[in-house]
Amino acid sequence: MAKEIVLTGVTTTGTPHLGNYVGAIRPAIEASRQDNTESYFFLADYHALIKCQDPERVKQSRLEIAATRLACGLDTDKATFYRQSDIPEIAELNWLLTCVTAKGLMNRALCLQRRR
């Protein structure tokens, strides 16, 4: 049986709080412990660029979010945990796709996927 792939990203603009733990952190970490799941967790620091123009705040948030995930039991032997900006192919792929893919086409593709 194929493993289910789960991708979870967190924008690095704030401090984790109890609501994050109950609603996102705990369920995601529990799911990552399942044998039939391949989990990827990332710190969405590129996404933070549009929400926060304070580099020190983004850095502090990135550290707080990473520390929280690890303290709550994220097992990096069972899940991949990375910072979005550490993978240059993400920005490269975004640039390539925006050059050749119209937003209307992406919207139609999303609608078709939701109908399945």
Instruction: Tell me the pLDDT tens digit for each residue of 21-60.
Output: 999 999 999 999 999 999 999 999 998 989 998 999 999 9
* Residue whose tokens read 């640039």: 95
Instruction: Tell me the pLDDT tens digit for each residue of 1-32.
Output: 788 998 999 999 999 999 999 999 999 999 99
Q: Note whether residue 94 is domain-resident.
A: no
Q: Note whether residue 113 is domain-resident.
A: no
Number of domains in the chain: 1
Q: Note whether residue 67 is domain-resident.
A: yes
Q: Which structural domain range is residue 33 located in?
A: 4-87
Helix (H) or strand (E) holding 11: strand 4-11
Helices (H) then strands (E): counts for the chain = 5, 3
Q: Note whether residue 12 is domain-resident.
A: yes
